[in-house]
Amino acid sequence: MELRRLSLHDVHEAKRAHAELAREGFEFLHGYEPDMDWADFLDRTERLRQGIGLSETWVPETFLVAEVGGQIVGRVSIRHHLNPSLRLVGGHIGYSVRPRFRRNGYAGQILELALVEARNLGIRKALLTCNADNLASRRVIESHRGVPEVFNSQDTVTTFKLRYWITS
């Protein structure tokens, strides 16, 4: 498995992945709109990585796709630091695996490689969150040294989120 940035050649497969995950209510390509020019989207992704022109609610983020055998099997977003919202829900690392590639160990591989990338960005303790009912994600995070944080919230949005810290 390789984690890498998107390229112009990824347009069709990345859009298919985006549509697949959208059916599950998950945004594969952050901020992508169907009528958006692909080169413009790639430029936006690079500006986001560099922290150029971000609104107050965004932080620099590295977006990488996971490729196995020439196919995009998933993706990961690594937020370079946390703002108040990400500190509550979202965390440093968010990943997903396309439905047809699940149950092959790819989520764990993506997380392991993402932790290396996070270390390279200076993140020594990474926050990951997942929905309480997402048993697969819980298992992946826990198997990668994720230490659960006791968290009580009056906010109904975050009540069902689990929070884990992984020291890298």
pLDDT tens-digit map of 104-140: 999 999 999 999 999 999 999 999 998 888 889 999 9
pLDDT tens-digit map of 50-82: 999 998 888 999 999 999 999 999 999 999 999
User: Strand 61-68 vs strand 2-4: parallel, antiparallel, or unpaired?
Assistant: antiparallel
Note the pLDDT of residue 154. 54
Name the packing angle between helices 135-143 and 106-120 (round to 10°): 50
Q: Which domains does the chain have, with CATH numbers?
A: 2-167 (3.40.630.30)
Residue whose entry in the numeric block shows the structure tokens 């971000």: 54
pLDDT tens-digit map of 16-36: 999 999 999 889 998 898 889
> Alpha carbon of 102 to those of 63, 66, 75: distances in Å?
20, 13, 12
> In the structure encoding, which two tokens stand for residue 99, read together?
């439905």
